[in-house]
């Protein structure tokens, strides 16, 4: 039981939340169409303006994990997490240069079709399946984070909290496809931005002296410390882990993950897609800066004003403050903002999981399916993934910083995925067999790093090698480099020469 389990919202707050949930579901349903094709259902007919895609990218990148867990990082630590965002910005530039032109050349529906055209059907299916498995696992953690907020606000149990949000999100995602997902993202971002402003205002009014006191106290406690230039790969947040690890993580998440690539492919042209991705990086930087500032302010509040409060997890701190200290009406808006981020991320996951399932797997076995049949299967698949994510969210109940757990799970697969994409984009020598071997070894390495409880001692020909515990921020770097190296070398031992790109799929 958390420290805030006894606190509940007032009737006006509950009314605001109810209006939001009903309103966003109704708004999303307005985008349903009686006749659809896969391009309209999964890519919104490639007719979304760049600014809407920008907001949708930020919205999809902003889950409940961000809102409740990032403040917790500053509450218990400092601003070191922001070093990772510097890598996010660099990674976006690389994606704009190396990946997006290839996607728009082929007019693709999913990221993994590029792998199919470059290497072949086996690797196409493998990359699609790996995305499905790891995205579902990571999303289960994100969906569970919703329960923390809904439980604090409504008093419902974990299962009921997850079920409410999952069902409402499924309704408009099922009917409206990517159009509904993106335009509800835009609306939800407005609510979410308003919630951030309310949080900043409320904290300033609950700490004597306002933000000047918060700045002085948090600064003296080292909360604003940002850079750590140590070369220790066991430390999660250092400058090098942030710049290099964050760059590789973003190259993978925004260049190979269908959840993000799908939005970028919905742009009207390559330039619009690039503008959306680069502009989203600026908003992400401001967003993390705001939430880390909120975490520092919460530290001051709970050490100077309400020092008797104790929390089971740092992830409980911000939801507890919202329920206990936000004025009537403001609390409802803030909870609605958090639910907006949660529903936005969930709708993106459902649509991307469904698109990969249908385009990269189903159509490989049923290429002659009619457009109506394809859309029908897409909708059924969306329902199926909603059930899977609901089940995984129930299994994801755990302690600790859920944002770090979610990122760590995704990073395990991202390394091998990124390595394969780099083999396809940067080389002509690599072939399908070599890439598959590299992917297997890269994924195995990332799993070993993730499960490694402490430093490992390995004896090789009488020589003892000590491998330190690797922080999750380095997983993608190690996995991608290892996948690329093994895949490239192995390609020399199999059929030399890369597979020629096949004719564009219909």
Three-class SS of 139-176: HHHHHHHHHHHHHHHHCCCHHHHHHHHHHHHHHHHHHH
Greater model confidence, 329 or 156 = 329
Does the pLDDT at position 68 exceed 80? no
pLDDT value of residue 445: 87
pLDDT value of residue 354: 93
User: What whole-number distance in Å separates Cα of residue 311 and Cα of residue 302?
Assistant: 10
Which range scores top for mean pLDDT: 73-82, 114-123, 207-216, 268-277?
268-277
Percent of the chain past pLDDT 90, that is, above it, reads 31
Buried b (16+ CB within 10 A) or exposed e, 423-445: bbeebeebbbbbbbbbbebbbeb
The token duo for 289 is: 């800066």
Neighbours of 370 (CB within 10 A): 9
Q: Kindly state the average pLDDT of the residues 461-487.
A: 82
Locus of tokens 């939801």 = 319
Does the pLDDT at position 504 exceed 50? no
Closest CA to 154 of 14, 19, 23, 22: 14
Q: Kindly state the average pLDDT of the residues 287-302.
A: 91
Q: Please report the sign of the dihedral spanned by the C-alpha atoms of residue 277, residue 282, residue 288, residue 291.
A: negative
Does the pLDDT at position 266 exceed 90? yes
Which range scores top for mean pLDDT: 103-107, 124-128, 162-166, 454-458?
124-128
Residues 6 or more apart whose CB falls under 8 angstroms from that of 71 comprise 291, 292, 294, 295, 298, 317, 318
User: What whole-number distance in Å separates Cα of residue 294 and Cα of residue 238?
Assistant: 21
Helices assigned H by DSSP within 301-401: 317-325, 330-355, 363-365, 371-395
pLDDT value of residue 327: 81
pLDDT digits (tens, 9 = 90+) for 177-200: 889 889 988 988 888 788 888 888
Closest CA to 277 of 260, 259, 289, 290: 260
pTM of the model: 0.84
Work out the pLDDT band at 349, boundaries 50, 70, 90.
confident
Does the pLDDT at position 1 exceed 60? no
pLDDT value of residue 108: 83
Work out the pLDDT band at 399, boundaries 50, 70, 90.
very low
Domains in the chain (CATH in brackets) are: 11-30+45-91+119-400 (1.20.1730.10)
The token duo for 361 is: 């797997």
Assess contact for 385 and 350: CB atoms under 8 A.
yes
H or E element in which residue 458 lies:
strand 456-460
Closest CA to 113 of 242, 227, 256, 3: 256
pLDDT value of residue 487: 93
Percent of the chain past pLDDT 70, that is, above it, reads 85
Which range scores top for mean pLDDT: 58-67, 128-137, 324-333?
128-137
Work out the pLDDT band at 413, boundaries 50, 70, 90.
confident
């Amino acid at each position: 039981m958390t420290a805030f389990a006894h606190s509940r919202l007032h009737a006006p707050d509950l009314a605001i939340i109810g209006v939001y949930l009903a309103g966003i579901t109704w708004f999303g349903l307005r985008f349903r169409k009686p006749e659809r094709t896969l391009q309209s259902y999964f890519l919104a007919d490639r007719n979304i303006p760049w600014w809407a895609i920008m907001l949708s990218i930020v919205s999809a990148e902003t889950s409940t994990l961000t809102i409740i867990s990032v403040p917790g990082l500053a509450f218990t630590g400092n601003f070191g997490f922001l070093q990772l965002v510097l890598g996010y910005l660099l990674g976006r530039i690389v994606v704009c240069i190396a990946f997006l032109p290839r996607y728009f050349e082929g007019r693709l529906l999913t990221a993994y079709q590029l792998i199919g055209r470059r290497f072949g059907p086996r690797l196409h299916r493998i990359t699609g399946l790996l995305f499905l498995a790891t995205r579902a696992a990571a999303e289960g953690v994100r969906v569970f984070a919703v329960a923390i907020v809904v439980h604090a606000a409504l008093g419902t149990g974990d299962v009921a909290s997850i079920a409410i949000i999952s069902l409402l999100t499924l309704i408009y995602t099922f009917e409206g496809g990517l159009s509904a997902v993106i335009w509800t993202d835009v609306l939800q971002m407005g609510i979410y931005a308003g919630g951030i402003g309310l949080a900043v205002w409320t904290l300033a009014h609950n700490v004597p002296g306002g933000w000047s006191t918060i700045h002085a106290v948090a600064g003296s406690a080292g909360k604003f410390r940002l850079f750590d230039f140590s070369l220790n790969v066991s430390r999660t947040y250092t400058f090098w882990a942030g710049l290099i690890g964050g760059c590789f993580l973003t190259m993978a998440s925004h260049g190979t993950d269908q959840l993000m690539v799908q939005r970028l492919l919905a742009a009207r042209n390559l330039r619009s897609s690039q503008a959306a991705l680069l502009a989203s990086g600026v908003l992400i930087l401001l967003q993390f800066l705001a939430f880390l500032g909120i975490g520092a302010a919460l530290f001051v509040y709970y050490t100077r004003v309400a020092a008797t409060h104790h929390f089971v997890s740092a992830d409980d701190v911000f939801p507890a403050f919202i329920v206990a200290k936000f004025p009537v009406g403001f609390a409802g808006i803030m909870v609605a903002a958090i639910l907006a981020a949660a529903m936005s991320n969930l709708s993106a996951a459902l649509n991307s999981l469904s698109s990969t399932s249908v385009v990269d797997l189903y159509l490989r076995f049923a290429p002659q399916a009619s457009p109506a049949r394809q859309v029908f299967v897409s909708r059924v698949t969306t329902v199926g993934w909603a059930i899977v994510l609901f089940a995984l969210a129930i299994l994801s109940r755990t302690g600790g910083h859920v944002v770090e757990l979610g990122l760590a799970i995704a990073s395990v697969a991202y390394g091998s995925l990124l390595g394969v994409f780099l083999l396809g984009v940067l080389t002509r020598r690599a072939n399908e067999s070599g890439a598959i071997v590299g992917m297997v070894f890269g994924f195995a390495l990332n799993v070993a790093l993730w499960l490694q409880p402490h430093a490992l001692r390995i004896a090789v020909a009488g020589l003892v090698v000590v491998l330190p515990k690797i922080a999750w921020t380095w997983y993608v770097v190690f996995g991608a480099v290892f996948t690329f190296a093994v895949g490239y070398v192995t390609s020399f031992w199999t059929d030399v020469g890369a597979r020629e790109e096949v004719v564009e799929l219909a």
